[in-house]
Amino acid sequence: MADWHRFNVTNGDVDLATFSYGTPGESTPDKPVVLLVHGWPDTHHLWDLVAPRLAEHFRVYAYDTRGFGDSTRPVAVESYRLDALAQDMLAVCHAVNPDGKTHIVAHDWGSVQAWETVTTAGADDVIASFTSVSGPNLDYLGEWARAKMARPTPRGVAQALSQVASSAYTAFFQVPGASDLFFRTFGSDRVWTEFLHLVEGTPRENARFGPTLREDMISGLKLYRANIRGKLANPEPRPTRVPVLEVVNDRDIALRPAIYERTHTHADRLWRKRTATGHWLPYTNPGYLADTAIEFIETIAGGAPVSPNTIDRARVDGPARELIGKLAVVTGAGSGIGRETAYALADLGAELVLADIDLDSAEETAIACKAKGVPATAYRLDVSDTDAVTRFADDVRAAHGVADIVVNNAGVALAGSALAASDEQVDRLLAINLRGVISGSRAFGRQMAERGVGGHIVNLASAAAFTLSRDLGLYSASKAGVLMFSESLRAELAEHRVGVTAICPGIVHTNITANTEYAGAADESAAREKVDKFYQKRNFTPDRVARDIVAAIAKNKAVVPVTPEAEFGYRVYRFFPWAARIGARQKIAG
């Protein structure tokens, strides 16, 4: 167990077992005070793996909320109402930091209690900041649900039904006899440890429970019975002036991300971070949670700046855009599909790191992204230089943090005879199109896997990867390599919750067509002009590809043929390969 030292705080007839972390009597009056609040069915031991990291920066305290651990267990259900729990929290804040403001980090029902506390009149005189993990404001939740039903849309109804399904267990918790018996029978350390490991991959050794787990499970059910029906039926949302960071977990088994979309209407100062993590973040990803809390608290407290700063991009100033708080890297961002993808990601609120071999064009894209209200930084990068790609990934991590989204888009084209192409042409093609994608995926993929909270890699392949053509053999080989590599990498990174998508556009008019080399062509300029005019007439623009890229990230798709001819070619090659081979004999350029 962690280095906790107990004392008691009294609020009325309830004694709250309160704990300081570290050496008793250690004098650190200059450090900010942080109070950690657990949820159901945990105790202060939920924070055993988070507290040591926080204690390097802050004075750290935790307590067992009423009904849990070594604190008083009231019998009456009404004793667990949120207003009483908020008074408990304020009493602990006054006890651990009587002359200053306390930073709250809270999880699950601890976060629900903290929401009640920070929306209590005068809370901003006592609480300096609130990091909310997997626990909504129940009044805001009720308001959200009523709005979805009052003005139903297909998307809104789907969101509401998804949350109802995720919260179905709470109906069972409302039945005292059945739910109490269930946890009296199955509420053991071993069963709960295996449950957490099964539902979100929590390392078994990370699950930290006190000796009162079974009793905590049963008495903690009164939280549900005392609060949920009343709050959801008659929500009374109140504002807060306390700075709030919402840590939203996309894989939360109990809470869907959509339920937080109205928080900005009540919180004056709101930040949001969203990752592919599960409900029990303090157990499963304690290092990430600790670092996130440290950065936020240091930002609010005005202490030593944490580098790199990832909090600034998480600020919510209005309706939260889908990718707020995310960092996206796009190569080949100076034009075409890369530039339009950068614009699409900027529209969704992501911070952009934009790389191109032509730095001026990348700068132009960055300026346009900044005009959309997001940070954007341009870098010069030659993706054919493997060492340069590795240095670039390291530089991005040092200056901006670990990327959440990486789009390996940079590429060139080579058409004509494979036999007539020079070795230099072949080497350049493969170095940029294939090795560049592999290098970028490996460099950024390692960082994502090490961080442990997911991410997404998008690799630009092509319909040429599965559409056979005598004039595109070398180009097709490079893009088929991208496709197969992406599919394989997706399997490798799945355990790290990192998605990988291969995007396969067909005939899209970009500046690549105007710069394509035609090996063995009698008149290369004429061949290039002919194909470029055809692509112009086809008029499938890069912004349409960018929309599919963004959708693929959101839905974690594996392979996305973009244009109609790409979708047709994908199916022909899979189901009628003989027809694809016959079609490949037709020449597309002179």
Residue written as tokens 């005598």?
470
Helical H runs in 431-510?
A: 436-451, 473-493
- The pLDDT-based confidence of 1 (bands split at 50, 70, 90) is low
Is residue 475 among the annotated active site residues? yes
- What digits encode the pLDDT tens for the residues 182-208? 999 998 999 999 999 999 899 999 988
What are 185's two structure tokens? 């029978």
CATH of the domain at 304: 3.40.50.1820
Shared domain check, 370 and 243 = no
Does a structural domain hold residue 312? yes
Listed residues 316, 344, 362: the one ending a domain: 316
Closest to 107 (Cα-Cα) out of 82, 80, 136: 136
Tell me if the bond preceding 305 is cis, omega within 30° of 0.
no
Looking at residue 565, what is its pLDDT? 78
pLDDT over threshold 90, residue 489: yes
How many of the other CB atoms lie within 10 Å of CB of 297? 26
How many of the other CB atoms lie within 10 Å of CB of 83? 10
Shared domain check, 511 and 460 = yes
What are 155's two structure tokens? 């998307």
Looking at residue 539, what is its pLDDT? 63
- What digits encode the pLDDT tens for the residues 307-334? 788 898 999 988 878 999 999 999 999 9
- The pLDDT-based confidence of 406 (bands split at 50, 70, 90) is very high
CA 495 to chain CA centroid, nearest Å: 15
Shared domain check, 166 and 89 = yes
pLDDT over threshold 80, residue 252: yes
d(CA 414, CA 578): 25
Shared domain check, 175 and 121 = yes
Residue written as tokens 């040591």?
52
pLDDT over threshold 60, residue 230: yes
Does a structural domain hold residue 284? yes
Identify the domain containing residue 23 by its residue range.
4-316
Max distance between CA atoms of the chain, in angstroms, equals 94
Helical H runs in 15-81?
A: 51-54
Shared domain check, 543 and 408 = yes
Q: What are phi and psi of 349, to 5 degrees?
A: 100, 5
DSSP code at position 432: I
- What digits encode the pLDDT tens for the residues 30-67? 899 999 999 999 999 999 999 999 999 999 999 999 99
Does a structural domain hold residue 259? yes
Does a structural domain hold residue 322? no
The distance in angstroms from the start CA to the end CA of the chain is 75
Mean pLDDT of 152-175: 90
Of 290-294, 380-384, 424-428, 571-575, where does mean pLDDT reach its minimum? Answer: 571-575
Shared domain check, 206 and 88 = yes
Give the global pTM.
Answer: 0.89
What are 362's two structure tokens? 């990348």
CB 129 within 8 A of CB 103: yes
515 HSE (CA, 13 A, CB side): 9
For residue 377, list its beta bridge partners.
Answer: 353
Tell me if the bond preceding 41 is cis, omega within 30° of 0.
yes
Mean pLDDT of 417-429: 91
pLDDT over threshold 90, residue 254: yes
d(CA 136, CA 115): 7
- What digits encode the pLDDT tens for the residues 4-34? 999 999 999 999 999 999 865 555 678 999 9
CATH of the domain at 485: 3.40.50.720
Shared domain check, 503 and 437 = yes
Residue written as tokens 């600034």?
312
pLDDT above 90 coverage of the chain, percent: 73
DSSP code at position 79: G
Catalytic residue, candidates 140, 475, 535, 570? 475
Q: What is the residue-averaged pLDDT of the chain? A: 90
What are 457's two structure tokens? 């890699």
Listed residues 316, 342, 362: the one ending a domain: 316
d(CA 429, CA 436): 10
Mean pLDDT of 283-306: 90
- What digits encode the pLDDT tens for the residues 494-521? 999 999 999 998 766 566 665 667 665 6
Shared domain check, 121 and 96 = yes
Does a structural domain hold residue 410? yes
pLDDT over threshold 90, residue 141: yes
Does a structural domain hold residue 588? no
Strand pairing report for 59-63 and 33-37: parallel
- What digits encode the pLDDT tens for the residues 449-474? 999 999 999 999 988 888 877 778 89
Does a structural domain hold residue 553? yes
Shared domain check, 351 and 290 = no
Does a structural domain hold residue 574? yes
Listed residues 282, 316, 350: the one ending a domain: 316
Amino acid at 207: A
Shared domain check, 280 and 164 = yes
d(CA 55, CA 290): 10
Looking at residue 590, what is its pLDDT? 46
What are 525's two structure tokens? 């300029």
Shared domain check, 268 and 303 = yes
Work out how many domains the chain is built from and give that number.
2
Burial 395-421 (b: 16+ CB within 10 A, else e): ebbeebbbbbbbbbbbbbbbbbebeeb
Shared domain check, 373 and 298 = no
CA 494 to chain CA centroid, nearest Å: 15
What are 514's two structure tokens? 């105007």
